């Protein structure tokens, strides 16, 4: 429960954007959900797009921070990969609306992917790829496959799990979180094939 109106509005926007999607969200909906007047939303945010960008920027900020931290840390590769998965699952547990919006409105939106949007993704992938490359260099990951291939597969698997949760509006229990991390890591590192 935030006190200041600005945060209340952002919180309300998160909910509405998640429920209805960007295109079907009305500024009036946000104001109503926030319990503030129509005009106040415009008092704090220049417009619908700005409000959306504020939210998305917050997400990218968290994501980059985490990836940079992992990249810089000297934990071993496997733990880094686990931490990345953990980040998504834990953020989903704490801020499901934020992650939902990322999955449904940003991740695949052709609309969002214009100039600036695409650049965000490239950074996201680059930071991850750096970790993969390091893993290869250290002999932890196989080197006969390009690091960006590994990146795609790894992030694709995470996104698939997250998407399922988002679309099904599922809860993530602690136990499920660990099982999911374990499953993804196991398959990613050792493969789905029987020995």
Partner DNA sequence: CATGAATGAGGGTTCATTCAT
Partner DNA sequence: CATGAATGAACCCTCATTCAT
Contact between 83 and 162 under an 8 Å Cβ cutoff? The reply is no
Q: Is residue 194 within the footprint of a copy of itself (CB under 8 A)? A: yes
Find the Cα–Cα–Cα–Cα dihedral 126, 74, 94, 8, rounded to 10°: -70
Q: Residue 190 is encoded by which pair of tokens?
A: 């050792």
User: How many angstroms separate the CA atoms of 75 and 19, rounded?
Assistant: 38
Q: Which does 72 bind (CB under 5 to 8 A by kind): a copy of itself, DNA, none?
A: none
**156 is an interface residue for a copy of itself by CB under 8 A:** yes
CB atoms within 10 A of CB 13: 26
- Interaction mask 3-22, a copy of itself, x per CB under 8 A: ---------------xxxxx
Among 111, 119, 170, 173, binds a copy of itself (CB under 8 A): 111
Which residues here bind a copy of itself, judged by CB under 8 A? 18-24, 100, 103-105, 107-111, 113, 118, 121, 139-146, 149-150, 152-161, 163-164, 166-168, 180, 183-184, 186-195
């Amino acid at each position: 429960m935030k006190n200041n109106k600005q945060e209340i509005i952002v919180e309300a926007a998160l909910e509405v954007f998640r429920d209805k999607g960007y295109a079907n969200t009305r500024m009036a909906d946000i104001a109503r959900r926030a319990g503030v007047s129509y005009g106040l939303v415009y008092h704090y945010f220049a417009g619908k797009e700005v409000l959306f960008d504020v939210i998305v920027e917050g997400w990218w900020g968290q994501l980059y921070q985490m990836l940079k931290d992992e990249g810089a840390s000297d934990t071993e590769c496997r733990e880094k990969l686990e931490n990345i998965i953990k980040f998504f699952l834990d953020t989903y547990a704490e801020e499901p609306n934020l992650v939902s919006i990322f999955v449904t409105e940003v991740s695949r939106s052709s609309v969002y992917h214009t100039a600036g949007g695409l650049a965000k993704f490239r950074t996201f992938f680059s930071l991850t790829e750096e970790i993969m490359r390091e893993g290869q260099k250290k002999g932890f990951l196989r080197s006969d496959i390009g690091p960006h291939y590994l990146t795609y597969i790894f992030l694709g698997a995470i996104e698939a799990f997250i998407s399922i949760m988002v679309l099904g509006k599922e809860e993530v229990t602690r136990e499920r979180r660990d099982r999911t991390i374990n499953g993804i890591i196991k398959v990613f590192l050792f493969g789905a094939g029987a020995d």
